[in-house]
């Protein structure tokens, strides 16, 4: 099992799936000659040629629209949007077409489309380039939403997404591209959708997160252990489908929950998760469900202000301190 970076795991997944199935192709801005904004598609052009690694004009609506058409025609496109922020320019294509065509045609038409989008903040890219918009897509029936936190999950989930028969929003955190981790070898390695990972077992509190939030939760659990608090950590991996069985099972054991997510607190994915915990495990809770999330402000450019607007490990520890012992 090799130790590689998150971006390299994504590249490996693309390479393996393109070699396995000649219907798979990649398209997006700068994905070919430049190798992608974050170098995820580096080297694919040389191996698979311009026929299957296609640089596009700067038009997100056109990129996604072409992807939908190609998927309907029997291909398996993986389209890359330079950031999830630019997905807003293709929302009609994503929400009104990709997500709905299969339903509107009674299942006779399939849209096996993967839309890869870097997202998240922390890099001083300003308010328009630092957003976490996964809740927009979670809100839309017909879309699957993947949010990998580790290199292994990045590879396994992307391969599963490419093989899926429906549209998948595949959201990668920009701050994780350089993260190293062990990734299983072999082209048959898949991570199933809707199956959360319990990355640490514990009995005092459940820390539930995804993407960068899952990594923060794991770091907080290590520090909490030094204080005598035994935290269980759940990495959701996907938001749709959402593995509520694992979440509820953990909460019933620990009786306390903290949901960690980088997006704005109001209306974020963590709000949906918190509501479902309250609906399904209310009698098992010894304290209110806590949320640690981004501030309800446009992301500041200033380094220190931006850090203050994003969830940090100390915020998770503070939230746990407030509910443990209640």
Any idea which residues carry the catalytic annotation?
Answer: 60, 129
* Tens of pLDDT, residues 45-89: 999 999 999 999 999 999 999 999 999 999 999 999 999 999 999
Q: Rounded to an integer, what distance in angstroms lies between the CA atom of residue 154 and that of residue 171?
A: 10
Q: Is 59 exposed, middle or buried (0-12, 13-18, 19+ CB in 10 A)?
A: middle
pLDDT at residue 132 is higher than 70: yes
> Crossing angle, helix 6-20 and helix 151-163, to 10 degrees?
30
pTM score, whole prediction:
0.96
Is the CB of residue 308 less than 8 Å from the CB of residue 295?
A: yes
CB atoms within 10 A of CB 308: 12
* 6-23 average pLDDT score: 97
Nearest to 12 by CA among 115, 130, 158: 158
Question: Measured in whole angstroms, how far is the alpha carbon of residue 63 from the centre of its chain?
Answer: 20
Three-state secondary structure call for residue 248: helix
When pLDDT is cut at 50, 70 and 90, the band that residue 325 belongs to is confident
* 189-195 average pLDDT score: 97
Residue 300 is encoded by which pair of tokens?
């500041």
Percent of the chain past pLDDT 90, that is, above it, reads 97
User: In the 8-state DSSP scheme, what is residue 112?
Assistant: -
Q: Strand locations in 30-122, DSSP E? A: 53-55, 76-80, 114-119
* Tens of pLDDT, residues 275-293: 999 999 999 999 999 999 9
Is the CB of residue 178 less than 8 Å from the CB of residue 214?
A: no
Is residue 100 left, alpha or beta, with left meaning phi > 0 and alpha meaning psi from -120 to 50? alpha
User: In the 8-state DSSP scheme, what is residue 94?
Assistant: I
Q: Rounded to an integer, what distance in angstroms lies between the CA atom of residue 280 and that of residue 145?
A: 22
Looking at every residue in the chain, the average pLDDT score rounds to 96
* 222-228 average pLDDT score: 96
User: In the 8-state DSSP scheme, what is residue 168?
Assistant: E
Nearest to 148 by CA among 123, 124, 125, 114: 114
Sheet holding 257-264, edge to edge: 197-200, 231-235, 205-209, 257-264, 290-294
Domain spanning 197-323: which CATH class is it, in words? Answer: alpha beta
pLDDT at residue 326 is higher than 90: no
Length of the chain, in residues = 326
Q: DSSP of 282-300, one letter per residue?
A: GGG-SSPPEEEEE-SSPPP
Q: Is CATH 3.40.50.970 the right assignment for the domain spanning 2-183?
A: yes
pLDDT at 1: 82
Q: Is 133 exposed, middle or buried (0-12, 13-18, 19+ CB in 10 A)?
A: buried
Q: Which residues of the chain form CATH 3.40.50.920?
A: 197-323
Three-state secondary structure call for residue 181: strand
Residue 175 is encoded by which pair of tokens?
């701050």
Q: Which residues of the chain form CATH 3.40.50.970?
A: 2-183
Residues contacting 303, CB < 8 A, separation 6+ = 124
* Tens of pLDDT, residues 83-123: 999 999 999 999 999 999 999 999 999 999 999 999 999 99
* Tens of pLDDT, residues 249-280: 999 999 999 999 999 999 999 999 999 999 99
Residues contacting 188, CB < 8 A, separation 6+ = none
pLDDT at 187: 84
């Amino acid at each position: 099992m090799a130790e590689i970076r998150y971006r390299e795991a994504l590249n490996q997944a693309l390479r393996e799936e393109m070699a396995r199935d000649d219907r798979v192709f990649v398209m997006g801005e700068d994905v070919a000659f430049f190798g992608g904004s974050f170098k995820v598609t580096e080297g694919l052009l040389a191996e698979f040629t311009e026929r299957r690694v296609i640089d596009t004009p700067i038009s997100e609506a056109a990129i996604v629209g072409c992807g939908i058409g190609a998927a309907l025609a029997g291909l398996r496109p993986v389209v890359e949007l330079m950031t999830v922020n630019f997905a807003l320019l293709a929302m009609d294509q994503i929400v009104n077409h990709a997500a709905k065509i299969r339903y509107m045609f009674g299942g006779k038409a399939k849209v096996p489309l993967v839309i890869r989008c870097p997202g998240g903040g922390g890099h001083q890219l300003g308010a328009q380039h630092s957003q976490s918009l996964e809740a927009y897509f979670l809100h839309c029936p017909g879309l699957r939403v993947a949010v990998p936190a580790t290199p292994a999950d990045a590879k396994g989930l992307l391969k599963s997404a490419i093989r899926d028969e429906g549209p998948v929003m595949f959201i990668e955190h920009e701050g994780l591209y350089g993260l190293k981790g062990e990734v299983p070898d072999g082209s048959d390695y898949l991570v199933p959708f809707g199956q959360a990972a319990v990355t640490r077992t514990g009995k005092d509190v459940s820390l539930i997160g995804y993407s960068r939030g899952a990594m923060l939760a794991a770091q907080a659990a290590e520090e909490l252990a030094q204080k005598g608090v035994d935290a269980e950590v759940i990495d959701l991996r996907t938001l749709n489908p959402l593995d509520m069985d694992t979440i509820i099972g953990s909460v019933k054991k620990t009786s306390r929950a903290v949901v960690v997510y980088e997006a704005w607190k109001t209306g974020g994915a963590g709000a949906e998760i918190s509501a479902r915990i309250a609906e399904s495990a209310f009698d098992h809770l010894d304290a209110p469900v806590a949320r640690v999330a981004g501030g309800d402000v446009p992301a500041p450019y200033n380094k220190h202000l931006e850090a203050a607007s994003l969830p940090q490990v100390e915020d998770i520890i503070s939230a746990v301190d407030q509910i443990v012992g209640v």
